């Protein structure tokens, strides 16, 4: 079954404690992307990746890092989380043939 998985699904942490949200897809897609969703703001792109070792900033990259060492995985790293990074995060994997974005189930992050 084609799917995008994210872990953890829920996380409560404290300011400054490094964390990683993992994202994995089994569709062999080259393109992957991270979004954050905040009430009234819709979904905003954080980073995207066009292939292994190729990443670029989206609209709201400040405070985030990503890596793409393997095609299937695209982790989101918060080196020093702050309360304004409390949000719902979605990873997406994109079919190069149809441009359809397949979203993961989401990770709800709370930074105290």
Partner 1 sequence: GENVEQHPSTLSVQEGDSAVIKCTYSDSASNYFPWYKQELGKRPQLIIDIRSNVGEKKDQRIAVTLNKTAKHFSLHITETQPEDSAVYFCAATSGGGADGLTFGKGTHLIIQP
Residue 104 C-beta: closest distance to partner 1, Å: 7
Does 31 engage in binding with partner 1 (CB under 8 A)? yes
The correct pick among 36, 48, 81, 109 for binding partner 1 (CB under 8 A) is 48
Q: Which of 53/80 has CB closer to partner 1?
A: 53
Exposed, middle or buried, 46 (CB in 10 Å: 0-12/13-18/19+)? buried
Listed residue (37, 86, 35) closest to 61, CA to CA: 35
What DSSP letter does each residue of 13-76 carry, written as one string?
Answer: E-TT--EEEEEEESS--SEEEEEEEETTTEEEEEEEEEETTEEEE-S--TT-EE--SSTTB--E
The correct pick among 8, 12, 16, 59 for binding partner 1 (CB under 8 A) is 59
The correct pick among 2, 14, 27, 41 for binding partner 1 (CB under 8 A) is 41
State the residues that interact with partner 1 by CB under 8 A.
Answer: 30-31, 33, 35, 40-45, 48, 50, 56, 58-59, 90, 92, 94, 96, 99-101, 103-106
């Amino acid at each position: 079954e084609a799917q995008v998985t994210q872990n953890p699904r829920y996380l409560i942490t404290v300011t400054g404690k490094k964390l990683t949200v993992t994202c994995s897809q089994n569709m062999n897609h080259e393109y992957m992307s991270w979004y954050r969703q905040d009430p009234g703001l819709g979904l905003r792109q954080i980073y995207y990746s066009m292939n292994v070792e190729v990443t670029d900033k989206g609209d709201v990259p400040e405070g985030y890092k990503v890596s793409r060492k393997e095609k299937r995985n695209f982790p989101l790293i918060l080196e020093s989380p702050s309360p304004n990074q409390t949000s719902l995060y979605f990873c997406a994997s994109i079919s190069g043939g149809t441009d359809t974005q397949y979203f993961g189930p989401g990770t709800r992050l709370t930074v105290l």
